[in-house]
Amino acid sequence: MTMRTYRYFVCPKGHRGEERTSENDQPFSKNWEHVTLTGMKEAPPNSGEGERFVCEQCGAEMLPAMSARD
């Protein structure tokens, strides 16, 4: 069984980003988690504040969005 989780982000200029996480916990396969980023990329891990993303189009920091269509 595969479970997918979506999280949506938006940058200050209005560009949208999406993080899609797929998890598979079938007993006969090794647990795995796969993360796909759309419209953004991981920020360099130099801030010490954990997971951050930046916009692929303008490089601004992405902020969590309430929904995909606000």
Using DSSP, state whether 15 is helix, strand or coil.
coil
According to CB under 5 A, which one of 3, 35, 58, 63 is a site residue for Zn ion? 58
61: which DSSP letter? B
According to CB under 5 A, which one of 10, 11, 40, 54 is a site residue for Zn ion? 11
Stretch that binds Zn ion, among 1-9, 19-27, 37-45, 50-58 (CB under 5 A): 50-58
Does position 41 interact with Zn ion (CB under 5 A)? The reply is no
Contact between residue 40 and residue 27 where contact means Cβ atoms under 8 Å apart: no
Contacts of 38 (CB under 8 A, 6+ apart): 17, 18, 19, 20
Q: Which is nearer to Zn ion, 43 or 60 (CB)?
A: 60
Does position 62 interact with Zn ion (CB under 5 A)? The reply is no
